[in-house]
Structure formats: structure tokens, C-alpha cells
Amino acid sequence: MDLLPTHGFRSRSWLGDASNGVARFPLTAAMIAAFSALANLELADRLPFSHSTPLLAALLSAAAVSLAVSIAAEARGISSPIRVILALAIAGPLAWSIGAAGAPPIRVTAMVWAALAGAVLLPFVGRGSPERFWAFTLWTVVGAAVAFVAVALFLLAGYVILWMLEALFGLDIGGNWDRYVLVTGLTLIGPLFALGRIPSSLDVSLVFDATDRMVRVVRPLFDWVLVPLVLVAGTILHVYLLREAAGHRLTTAEVWPPLVFSVLVMALRVAIDPFRIGAPKPTTLFLRFWRLMLALPTVALGAIIWQRVETGGWMLASYGLAAWSLSLALVLALAVWRRAAGDIRWLVGVPALLLLLTTFGPWSVESTVVRSQLARLSEATGHRAEGRALVQEDMASLRDGIADLGLLRRLRDVRGVLPPEGAGDPIWQNETIRAFEVMRVAGIDMPTSRASAVPTFNGFQLFAASRNGEGLDLADFDLALRIRYSSFEAGQATDNSDAWMVALTEDGQGLSIRHGSVVDRVGLEPVLAELLRLAPAIDGPPQRADLTSDDGRRIRLDVDQAGIDTRARVFNGLGATILVRRAEWKAE
């Protein structure tokens, strides 16, 4: 027996791989081609409609689902035409529902990963063996990785060749060819090659051989490195969790150790499954006690989730943790079923099934989080109407909840739980609503201060302009100043009458300009509002504005870099050119 399939990885051309993938999975290949074409049209700004994201999400989800259906049908000997019809019957309505409803990215991501897990799992549901499933998964992943590495090397070589032609021979190739080549390679060539590298689940040579040379080289890495490290880490983690539990000190901030450890244990258990026979002592210990090693971390995760939901309701993070913890609990419960206890297909199948379940129904992540956060906002509105003030911790969790509603594209639902003055705010007439605007209308926006102007994961927005040789109209200004991208640089007094100093003000909403003994402030609220309207703009033109200072001096501002806290509506950093008139800054 061989670990390496006899014909799955023999030498063949990449064109042959791509054509083989198209022949085996024509519907998936067609959706990949459509996705790539749409991405290139989006890059060229030649789409006949304004919003391409729902269509891209629909094609991506449908491609993953059609691949899973096609592989499962192929494993059961169904003919190619019937496989295409079956895949179209399942993936078609799915694509339509996602495109029409505009599913949030988190839902699309979960569906794609669940479908990819199903692509390697479904051929072995009720048939085959764990060993064949392991080998099929290994060579599918390796084949896809090799395909994308080859495409990356090809793209790199192409870039180098074209750059040499431009630099050495003065050829003007022009255009944005590099962007189109990159997008085409990553969205079309790579995926088609990867399709061609997927082995057939019917391949009789797709087996595992413990005596294979590659296995003998790789196996010590698991037996004598990874397994002992996980055993030691498990011992340390259990001592820590027991100590914290005994002192009632387990908090929501301590979620990472049990989460990361549980993921490592599950992944390692699947990875070393073929090495069970003749395993050394560390691996034998791990295989015997891996379920016991997961018990306490699972309980700890459950306790942390309970605390999070009690204080902040269901949010995206707490829902994801709950889904993973439920997966762990179900995997541990399978120990009582002898047939499933040692089958790694269950270890992959249970999380994949729960991941799929999070994408639809009243129990889905979207429905659960929206329902919980709207209930909390409604309760907070009632408290405020009764004259009861909210503590800062509640305000912070409500802001986090609105940020999650923004990620789920459900900010408009907040209008239904607000009092009449909030429900009648003009922001609800805007085509695009941002989380910080909803926070303001709901009365839970952050106070504008230095302390609140710290970038947060959910509230930080970057603006970086793309300059293509544009000039800056000087008009009647006679001096250009420069502020580098930085945060809250304090100005200092100087005796040099010719010295200038420019810095962001402490509140993050203005510029402090000092010339000798003259100090003035320029409010940046109009610039901030425009950048927030354009965000995210990673490659847009510089933003220019003519402003008047607090003392009536005129300046022209040319912004090419900005870091913005979208919740507090303040600048965290600014890179810009400032034009001034010298005569207006003379000391009287």
C-alpha cells in the first residue's frame, strides 16, 4: 500500500489539471469563472450595477456548495450529467437567496467553510473508512495548496519579467495590468488548478501506509514534538483553570487559553489518527486521555459564555464560542457510542454541521444576535424613559451590540425600538447607515475625549490616498506645511519666530497650528464627515478642503492619510499638507 495515490499526483501539466477540474466539476468551474469575471469588472469600474458584493457572495457560496454536492454524488457513482443537475438544483436556489437578500459576510463565510468541510466529508458518510477519509482530506488540501503556490510563483515570475521589460528596455506596458493579472490568478487560475488536484474518493490507491518513507519522516514531528507539547500545555491549563475556579476568579477575558487549547487538541486528534498503531508512549497517552483533556476547558468555555450573555446578551463572539463549545460537548458525548467513539469523521462532521446550522433558521447567528441586541436596546430605552441612568459598562456593551448589528447589516432594525425622537432622526433616510450614527441617535455614543480616541477593533477606519501626479492648487497661499501621520503630538512653545508646529488637538477633531507665539485651532469636522462618508477608501484621491480657523485665518487642507475612530468620530492620526498665508500669522 502507498500513502501517495498512484495517479492522483503523477506528473502532469497544469493545463491538464485545469481541464480535468472543469470536466469533473463543470458547474463549480462556471461559477468560479463568473466570480473572476465579475471581480475584474469591479476592478475596472465597468459594472452595469452599483453593488456587486451580494452577487459575488452568491457565486462564492454556490461554488462551494456545488463542489460538495458533486464530490458526494461522484462517490456514489452518479453520472456526470445527473451530478450537474443535482448540484444546480441545490446551489442555484442558494445563490438566488443570498444574492436577493444580501446576506452578511459572516453568514457567507460560515456557509463556505461548512461546504468545504462537506466536500471532503460527504463522500465517506455511511461508507468508506476513517483511514480513507483522512487520506482523501490530506491530498485534497495538499493538492489545493500546491496549485495556489504554483500560481503564486507564476504570477511572481510574470511580474518580474514585465518589470524587466519596462525598466531595462523602456517599454511602456501601461494600465493596471498587474491588478488584473493578480485578480485573475487568484480567482480563476488557482481555483481551476485546485479543482484538478482533488483526488477521486473512488481511487483504490487512496490508502494510508504506515511504512511509507514520507510517514517515517513526518511521524516523529507528531509523536515527539507536538503531542508532548500539547500534554504539557494541557497540564498547565488544567492547574490554572482549577485555581481560578476555586477562587471564583474566572472572567470573560480568560477565554483564549481554553479556546486555543481545545482547537489544538481536536486538530491533533484528527492529524495523528493514522499513527495509532505502534504509537510511542506520548501519543498513546494522548489517544487515551484526549477527551478527558477537553472536559474542563469545555466547562470553562461554558461558564465564560454564560457570563458574557448575562452581561451583554448574545453577540457574534459569544455565539461563535457557544457553537464551538456545543461541538466539543457533542464530541465528548459520542464516547458512549462505541461505533462513533474512534471515528475522526465525527470530529470533523459535528463542527461542520453546527457551522452550517448557524447560517439559517431562528437559531442562526443573525437571528439570535439581532433578537438579543434589539431586546437589550429596547430595555435600555425604557430605563432612560423612566429617568434611570445607564452605567458605563452597560453603555459599552450596548455599543458593542450595535457594532455587531452593523456587521450583520441590520442597523435599520434599531429604529423600531427607539422612542419617536430617535425613530424620526434624518439618518434613517440615508442609503447607508453607520454604527456610530445609530449610537448617537440611540443616545449611547462615546464622549469625545482623548481617552475615547483610542482605536478599537470594530471601530477603526483607515484612509490612504493614491497619488498619481496630481497637483495642489496653491491659489493665493504662499506656504505649505506638512503634518506626518501620527497621533496627538503636543505642540510646544518656541522663541523662534519662523518656526511652525502642526499637530492634532487632544480631542482628535481639530488641528493646532503654532507659528512663534501665535496659536490657532482649525476644526476638522467637515473633513471628518466626508472621510466617514467615503470609508472605507483605501485607494481614493486625496481629500481637500478650504477651512477657516477659530480666529478667522484661512487654510487649505490636503489629506492623504487618516486613522479614524468611527465610534467616537475623531481622528487617531492624520497625514496632510496644509497651505497657509504667512501674512495672517504675524504676531501683532
Judged against a pLDDT cut of 80, whether residue 141 lies above it is answered with: yes
Looking at this protein, which amino acid is placed at residue 586?
K
> Which residue would you say has higher pLDDT here, 212 or 38?
38
Among the residue ranges 379-393, 419-433, 513-527, the one predicted with the least confidence is 379-393
Q: Mean pLDDT throughout 392-405?
A: 86
CA 97 to chain centre: 22
Please, are residues 365 and 106 in contact by the beta-carbon 8 Å criterion?
Answer: yes
**Apex CA 552: angle with CA 547 and CA 557, to 5°?**
20
Q: List pLDDT tens digits, range 330-346.
A: 999 998 888 888 899 99
Q: Which of 94-98, 100-104, 502-506 has the highest mean pLDDT?
A: 94-98
Please name the helix (run of DSSP H) or strand (run of DSSP E) that holds residue 574, with its range, or none. Answer: strand 570-580
At residue 218, the pLDDT reads: 84
Q: Mean pLDDT throughout 4-25?
A: 65
Establish how many alpha carbons lie within 13 A of residue 4's alpha carbon, considering only the half-sphere containing its beta carbon.
Answer: 10
Cell reading at 377: 436596546
pLDDT grade for 177, boundaries at 50, 70 and 90 = confident
Q: Which of 177-186, 201-210, 321-330 has the highest mean pLDDT?
A: 321-330
Distances (CA, A) of 208 to 131, 134, 217, 221: 7, 8, 15, 18
At residue 512, the pLDDT reads: 87
Judged against a pLDDT cut of 60, whether residue 468 lies above it is answered with: no
Please, are residues 139 and 9 in contact by the beta-carbon 8 Å criterion?
Answer: yes
pLDDT grade for 448, boundaries at 50, 70 and 90 = very low
C-alpha–C-alpha distance, residues 481 and 472, integer Å: 13
Judged against a pLDDT cut of 50, whether residue 165 lies above it is answered with: yes
At residue 461, the pLDDT reads: 61
Judged against a pLDDT cut of 60, whether residue 494 lies above it is answered with: no
Judged against a pLDDT cut of 90, whether residue 109 lies above it is answered with: yes
Judged against a pLDDT cut of 90, whether residue 384 lies above it is answered with: no
Arithmetic mean of pLDDT over the chain: 84
Q: Mean pLDDT throughout 261-288?
A: 93
Domain boundaries, the chain: 14-196, 213-360, 366-445, 463-585
Please, are residues 405 and 397 in contact by the beta-carbon 8 Å criterion?
Answer: no
At residue 487, the pLDDT reads: 43
Write phi, then psi, for 206 (nearest 5 degrees). Answer: -80, 75
> Which residue would you say has higher pLDDT here, 371 or 394?
371
C-alpha–C-alpha distance, residues 349 and 372, integer Å: 28
Among the residue ranges 99-103, 170-174, 190-194, 365-369, the one predicted with the least confidence is 170-174
Q: List pLDDT tens digits, range 118-136.
A: 999 999 998 888 989 999 9
